[in-house]
Amino acid sequence: MAQKKVKVIVTAGYGTNCERETAHVCREAGADTVDIVHLSELIYGEKRLNDYHLLCLPGGFLDGDHLGAAKAGAHRFRYARVKGQEERLLDQIFNLIEKGGLIIGICNGFQLLVKLGLLPGFDGDYTQRLASLTYNDSGRFEDRWVKLIINQASPCVFTKGLKEMFLPIRHGEGKFIVKDDEVLKRLKAQNQIVCQYIHPETGDPTMEYPFNPNGSILGIAGICDETGRIFGLMPHPEAYNHETNHPRWRREKIKDPLGTTIFKNAINYIREY
């Protein structure tokens, strides 16, 4: 049987700035086709999400973070009509989910996913906004590396086989919050909390700064939907695609798994699906 050719789309434009890194790591992870597509190309119907298996929403400052991080971008996805059609960009995302596609949102892309309602996506409802990402408790932009623990019981396709990761963060609005306690209870009960910031000495999820760089509740750094096929996280796995990216690569033997592993897991899943 011929092996499935994996096609990846990485969105760009309107303030994103991590699309090249993200496309590079997808190629390194083994994707057959990786296209960087400006959002206007989707709006004008020149490209369609239905032609791809994996949608990557990269980091940056979508629309300058006016109205809050990714808020204006969420309005574009929700209300912009594809030229000459009644279809919205959000409808194309729903179609991608329905046919079994994968979505990863990194940093600004994670903000976009929660503000669209695609995460946490309880009961397959991808329209309800139940969580958000807001200003860091420090009141400033944070640019550092953080240690993460990965939930082994999570259904997340992207983190299969991973236990801990060391990844860079760079954001001013990364504090994960939820609508109410019931949302948090469901995230915990359904193992949709994928990764948490941990204290490097104890290895436990932490609220202590700077190990938790933004004050996220329960130290949450990333969540997925119930299927595990939609994943959003604040740290940047695409920025750790080679051992020389690691801040201590000259001083010690690096054992931390590359962020590339997250994308390899996704691509392997698509090939086997």
* In contact, 101 and 7? CB cutoff 8 Å: no
Q: Phi and psi for 189 in degrees, rounded to 5?
A: -60, -35
Preceding peptide of 155 cis, ω within 30°: no
Token representation of residue 97 = 């989910």
Q: Which residues are catalytic?
A: 107, 236, 238
* Surface-to-core class of residue 198, CB atoms within 10 Å of its CB (0-12 exposed, 13-18 middle, 19+ buried): buried
Assess contact for 77 and 126: CB atoms under 8 A: no
Angstrom distance (rounded) from CA 47 to CA 76: 16
DSSP letter assigned to residue 149: E
**What is the C-alpha separation between 71 and 180, in angstroms, rounded?**
20
Residues 197/31/73/192 CA torsion (nearest 10 deg): -40
